[in-house]
């Protein structure tokens, strides 16, 4: 029987040389291997386990998982689950897989909600709702909504809310803010959005693990610059926000300046960017003025 270390070394090499896998850091090949083996063994693999022998049936399943990863399939889809803000979330094919990069957006929204009295948060283009779920879990007494046009994603969000025991988050099928309850007008504290921001012409250039395994509606709004939904939110959100409420948008760093311009032109103040742990701008936020300009 092969040991944990032997299997991890083999998997790391296979994943690292795959042209279908998009590795942000070289060490991610090892991380992928450890995540897959942990899933097979039903426990987190650590350095203390390296000399352990892996039963043949589980080693065989691990090798099949690695082949799927080498073909480009994301780890989360292979395992059917992922972690986000300390939550174990189910995922499945046909819906966008939550990214750890969105934890910055979630954490900034949570901070804003905690400082508010009513604590109303709305996640637009929510997908399976990782940001909405995080707000609902981390801010007791909050009222959170996840809005999306894709029913399969909403079904996964509702399922995860039930598994997490969260009764303060509601997922609604909605084109932007159309289905948001009218009673919320003028009282929302935070709007969040991780829009499908890939410009139409760049879809074909995406890595295989994204363009072959993620629904294209979650990648691009089919506009020339990928920011059509951001403009819509900037136009629609003020009527729903309380004075001093916030809009927060997650985009790739190269689009951050354009998003700042969109929010500023829409009348938001205190427009600023938030950087992730690697120093890249990921979240742009702006506040509704507390007083109406004369």
Q: Determine the Cα–Cα distance for residues 273 and 284; give it in Å rounded to an integer.
A: 4
User: Which tens digits make up the pLDDT trace of 222-270?
Assistant: 777 889 999 999 999 999 999 999 999 999 888 999 999 999 999 999 9
Which residues have a Cβ under 8 Å from the Cβ of 53 and sit 6 or more positions away? Answer: 1, 2, 3, 4
pTM beyond 0.75, yes or no? yes
Is the CB of residue 145 less than 8 Å from the CB of residue 166?
no
Q: Give percent above pLDDT 70 in the chain.
A: 97
Exposure class string for 209-224: b at 16+ Cβ within 10 A, else e: bbeebbeebbbbbebe
Burial of 184 by CB count in 10 Å (0-12 exposed, 13-18 middle, 19+ buried)?
middle
pLDDT at 276: 81
* pLDDT > 80? residue 216: no
The tokens 């992922």 sit on which residue? Answer: 82
pLDDT at 1: 86
Q: Determine the Cα–Cα distance for residues 221 and 200; give it in Å rounded to an integer.
A: 7
User: Which tens digits make up the pLDDT trace of 192-215?
Assistant: 999 887 777 777 777 777 777 777
Q: Determine the Cα–Cα distance for residues 212 and 8; give it in Å rounded to an integer.
A: 26
- Angle of helix 130-138 versus helix 103-114 axis, rounded to 10: 40
User: Which tens digits make up the pLDDT trace of 33-47?
Assistant: 999 999 999 999 999
| Alpha-helical segments (H) within 139-246 | 151-164, 208-211, 228-236
Residues in the chain: 294
User: Which tens digits make up the pLDDT trace of 4-44?
Assistant: 999 999 999 999 999 899 887 779 999 999 999 999 999 99
Which residues have a Cβ under 8 Å from the Cβ of 179 and sit 6 or more positions away? Answer: 147, 172, 173
* pLDDT > 60? residue 294: no
Query: Using 50, 70 and 90 to split pLDDT, how confident is the model at 170?
Result: very high
The tokens 């009527």 sit on which residue? Answer: 239
User: Which tens digits make up the pLDDT trace of 59-95?
Assistant: 999 999 999 999 999 999 999 999 999 999 999 988 8
Complete domains list, the chain, with CATH: 4-79 (1.10.8), 101-287 (3.40.50.150)
First and final C-alpha spacing in the chain: 77
User: Which tens digits make up the pLDDT trace of 114-145?
Assistant: 999 899 999 999 999 999 999 999 999 999 99
Query: Using 50, 70 and 90 to split pLDDT, how confident is the model at 112?
Result: very high
pLDDT at 279: 78
Q: Determine the Cα–Cα distance for residues 106 and 114; give it in Å rounded to an integer.
A: 12
The residue-averaged pLDDT of 172-176 equals: 97
Q: What average pLDDT does the chain have?
A: 92
**DSSP class of 132:** H
The tokens 């760093």 sit on which residue? Answer: 253
Query: Using 50, 70 and 90 to split pLDDT, how confident is the model at 220?
Result: low
* pLDDT > 90? residue 280: no
């Amino acid at each position: 029987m092969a040991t944990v270390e032997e299997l991890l070394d083999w998997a790391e090499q296979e994943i690292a040389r795959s042209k279908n896998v998009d590795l942000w850091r070289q060490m991610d090949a090892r991380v992928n291997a450890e995540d897959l083996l942990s899933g097979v063994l039903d426990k987190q693999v650590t350095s203390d386990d390296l000399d352990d022998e892996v039963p043949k049936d589980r080693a065989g399943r691990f090798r099949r998982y690695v082949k799927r990863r080498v073909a480009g399939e994301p780890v989360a889809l292979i395992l059917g689950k992922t972690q986000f803000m300390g939550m174990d979330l189910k995922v499945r094919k046909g819906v966008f897989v939550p990214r750890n990069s969105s934890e910055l957006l979630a954490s900034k929204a949570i901070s804003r909600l905690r400082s508010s009295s009513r604590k109303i948060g709305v996640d637009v283009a929510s997908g399976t709702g990782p940001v909405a779920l995080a707000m609902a879990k981390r801010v007791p007494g909050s009222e959170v909504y996840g809005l999306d046009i894709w029913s399969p994603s909403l079904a996964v969000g509702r399922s995860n809310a039930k598994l997490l025991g969260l009764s303060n988050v509601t997922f609604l099928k909605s084109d932007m803010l159309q289905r948001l309850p009218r009673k919320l007008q003028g009282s929302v504290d935070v709007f969040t959005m991780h829009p499908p921001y890939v410009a139409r012409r760049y879809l074909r250039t995406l890595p295989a693990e994204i363009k072959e395994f993620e629904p294209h509606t979650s990648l691009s709004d089919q506009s020339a610059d990928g920011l059509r939904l951001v403009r819509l939110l900037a136009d629609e959100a003020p009527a729903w926000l309380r004075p001093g409420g916030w809009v927060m948008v997650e985009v790739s760093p190269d689009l951050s300046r354009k998003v700042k311009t969109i929010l500023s032109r829409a009348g938001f103040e205190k427009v600023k960017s938030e950087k992730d742990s690697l120093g890249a701008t990921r979240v742009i936020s702006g506040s509704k003025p507390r007083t109406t300009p004369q």
